[in-house]
Structure formats: C-alpha cells, structure tokens
C-alpha cells in the first residue's frame, strides 16, 4: 500500500485501555513513593533517548489495533511519533490534542505530521483555500506538534521544468509563511525523485537554495536520497541549518530494496559525525519493509541508539 492508497483507507480507533508504564520510562519512578497521590498523577513518564518514528511505518497495523500498535512502539523505546497523512482534523478519530494525551501516557510526544496536501494554491494567502494550512497549523499546535511536513512535490516532479521549480519555491515560501503565523514550522520531505535534475540542476538542491531559510525547512529522507543516487553526507555538510529533521530509513543499492536501518547503503556512521554542525533537531525512523514490522522497527531503534546524539 502506498501513501496515496493509505489516506483513502478509513479506520476507527479502538478504545484506549489503561497503559502500564514500563522500565524503559524515565520520570515518575520509585523516587516519588513518599509523595502525595496528586503529585504522582502530575508525574508523566518519558521514554529515554530521542529516536522518533513516522506512523506510516505501521500503517497496516493501526487499523487492526490502534492503541496497541502505539504501545508496541513505546515499549521498543521510541520517544516521539510523527503522524502520517494528516488533513487538519483527526487521525484515527483522534484530534491532535487527544492523541497527544494518549501517547504522553505511553511516554511519547507528537513531533509533527506529514500533511496530505501539496496542491498549488492561489498566490494570495488570504484566499479561502489557505484555510486548509491554517487549520493544519492550529490543530498540530494544539497537540504540541512543531513541524508541518509536506511529503510530495507541488506538481508533477517527473516532468518538471525550471518554471515548475520556481512556482514550487514560491508556493513553499507561502506555506511556510502561513505555518509560521500559525505557530508551527513548515518542512519539505524528499523522495528519490528529488535527486533528479532539471536543466542540470538537482531538484532538491534548487528547493533548498531558493526557499526562504526562515520559512522553509527540510526533512532529509536518507533511504530515498540513496535510492535516487544522492549523497546524504553532502546535504548535511553543504546546507547547515536547513535540515533540522532526518528520516532514518535505509536502501540497499545491491538489491534495490528498502531495508532496516543499518543494513543498507546509507552511511549512518558518517552521518552521525555531522548532526551538531548540521543542526539536527529530530530523528525519525520510517520503515517501509514487509514482514514483521514491529521487529523491523525494533531493529531500527536498536541500531540507532548506539549513536551519542540519540541518547539523553
């Protein structure tokens, strides 16, 4: 199932049961035994480390058991979730505020959301079509999310011309302006097609160089960069401060398949020499393999936790 198919698939949320805290939580703990009960209730568990996960990774599991699937991610140790295909209203019948309460009780937080709209809108940001992005920003902010992420090119990227790239840049800047006024940051997420060229210019390079750095940020998906023939290290080295979000994915050039993080061709050891100078703020796993997805997500987590940046 691809992203476009996923958004059309409806799912009702199962009722949330009580969630028991696990040893991997930090906070509450045994030190508070002597405190009043109301003090204990105000103490919220927090998962160790700072490795998040994009919920698209478990898109086939959430319709079966939404709450249980989130709990499995928490038990692995993930500290934040990134919502997928968000349209500004609810996610599996949860508002962002109610979802934030649910995941907070599991020791996690909402980092942001991939937004299900990349259509070019009128130049006038006061036009009613822009209410979509204003609603996205308001709802995301209500749940504590900081990042509104566009996960596809505004237009037909495979046949894009230089004029198309210029229109895209103008559109991204306008979305960034609306999001900033709404209290969240706007981010563009690449796929492998952004490694293609228009008039001998790499599309992703053009977008980074020509968007307003105060309005538009980038989430570099490592597996997609490698799949498209790009160099992840070069992006972090050449564009410091423009890429505060990483998508930890992996792609094996030998088999031409997406694999668990650390098994493919993405040079993670070299990448983790650069997060400080590159300005990394959020690291988010996105897993696109088949099979036991929770086993794959655990393998991703266990690989990434070796790096100093991921540890508290």
DSSP for 233-248, written as a single string: HHHHHHSTTT--EEEE
> In terms of C-beta density within 10 A (0-12 exposed, 13-18 middle, 19 or more buried), how is residue 46 classed?
middle
Model confidence at 12, in pLDDT bands (50, 70, 90)?
Answer: very low
User: Rounded CA gap, 288 and 269, in Å?
Assistant: 21
Model confidence at 4, in pLDDT bands (50, 70, 90)?
Answer: very low
Mean model confidence pLDDT for the chain? 88
> In terms of C-beta density within 10 A (0-12 exposed, 13-18 middle, 19 or more buried), how is residue 61 classed?
middle
| DSSP state, residue 157 | G
pTM of the model: 0.87
The token duo for 81 is 């979730």
The per-residue pLDDT for range 172-213, each reduced to its tens digit, is 999 999 999 999 999 999 999 999 999 999 999 999 999 999
What pLDDT score was predicted for residue 227?
Answer: 98
What pLDDT score was predicted for residue 10?
Answer: 37
Q: Hey, which bits of the chain come out as E strands?
A: 25-26, 46-47, 51-54, 80-86, 109-115, 147-150, 185-189, 197-198, 201-202, 216-221, 245-248, 250-252, 257-259, 282-285
Identify the weakest region by mean pLDDT among 87-91, 197-201, 202-206, 224-228. Answer: 87-91
- Taking 80 as the threshold, does the pLDDT of residue 27 lie above it? no
Residues contacting 181, CB < 8 A, separation 6+: 137
- Taking 80 as the threshold, does the pLDDT of residue 21 lie above it? no
The per-residue pLDDT for range 240-280, each reduced to its tens digit, is 999 999 999 999 999 999 999 999 999 999 999 998 888 99
- Taking 90 as the threshold, does the pLDDT of residue 214 lie above it? yes
User: Rounded CA gap, 223 and 225, in Å?
Assistant: 5
User: Rounded CA gap, 83 and 94, in Å?
Assistant: 11
Q: Are 228 and 193 in contact (CB under 8 A)?
A: yes
Q: Determine if residue 67 is left, alpha or beta; phi over 0 gives left, psi from -120 to 50 gives alpha, anything else beta.
A: alpha
Hunting for tokens 């959020």 — which residue is that?
282
Identify the weakest region by mean pLDDT among 34-43, 220-229, 255-264, 295-304. Answer: 34-43
- Taking 60 as the threshold, does the pLDDT of residue 20 lie above it? no
User: Rounded CA gap, 75 and 144, in Å?
Assistant: 22
Cα first-last separation, the chain: 35
- Taking 60 as the threshold, does the pLDDT of residue 15 lie above it? no
Domains of the chain with CATH codes: 3-9+52-310 (3.20.20.150)
Nearest in space to 220 (alpha carbons), one of 278, 146, 157, 141: 278
pLDDT top residue among 133 and 277: 133
What pLDDT score was predicted for residue 278?
Answer: 87
Query: 202 φ, ψ to 5°?
Result: -65, 130
Question: Taking residues 71-76, what's their average pLDDT?
Answer: 98
Model confidence at 47, in pLDDT bands (50, 70, 90)?
Answer: confident
- Taking 90 as the threshold, does the pLDDT of residue 33 lie above it? no
């Amino acid at each position: 199932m691809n992203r476009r198919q996923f958004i059309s698939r409806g799912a009702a949320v199962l009722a949330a049961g009580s969630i028991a805290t696990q040893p991997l939580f930090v906070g509450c703990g045994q030190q508070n035994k002597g405190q009043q009960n109301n003090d204990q209730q105000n103490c919220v568990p927090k998962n160790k480390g700072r490795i998040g996960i994009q919920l698209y990774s478990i898109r086939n599991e959430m319709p079966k058991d939404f709450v249980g699937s989130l709990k499995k991610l928490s038990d692995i140790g993930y500290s934040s979730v990134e919502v997928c295909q968000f349209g500004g209203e609810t996610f599996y019948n949860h508002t962002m505020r109610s979802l934030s309460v649910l995941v907070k009780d599991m020791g996690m937080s909402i980092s942001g959301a991939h937004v299900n709209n990349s259509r070019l809108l009128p130049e006038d940001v006061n036009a009613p079509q822009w209410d979509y992005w204003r609603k996205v920003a308001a709802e995301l902010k209500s749940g504590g999310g900081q990042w509104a992420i566009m996960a596809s090119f505004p237009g037909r990227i495979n046949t894009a011309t230089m004029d198309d790239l210029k229109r895209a840049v103008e559109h991204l800047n306008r979305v960034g302006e609306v999001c900033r006024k709404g209290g969240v940051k706007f981010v563009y997420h690449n796929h492998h097609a952004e490694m293609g060229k228009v008039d001998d210019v790499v599309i992703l390079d053009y977008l980074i160089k020509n968007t307003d750095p105060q309005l538009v940020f980038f989430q570099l998906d490592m597996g997609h960069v490698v799949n498209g023939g790009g160099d992840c290290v070069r992006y972090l080295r050449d564009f410091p401060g423009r890429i505060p979000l990483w998508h930890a994915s992996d792609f094996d050039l030998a088999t031409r398949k997406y694999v668990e993080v650390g098994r493919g061709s993405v040079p993670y050891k070299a990448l983790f020499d650069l997060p400080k100078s590159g300005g990394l703020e959020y690291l988010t796993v996105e897993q696109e393999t088949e099979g036991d997805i929770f086993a794959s997500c655990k393998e991703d987590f266990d690989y990434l936790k070796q790096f100093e940046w991921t540890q508290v």
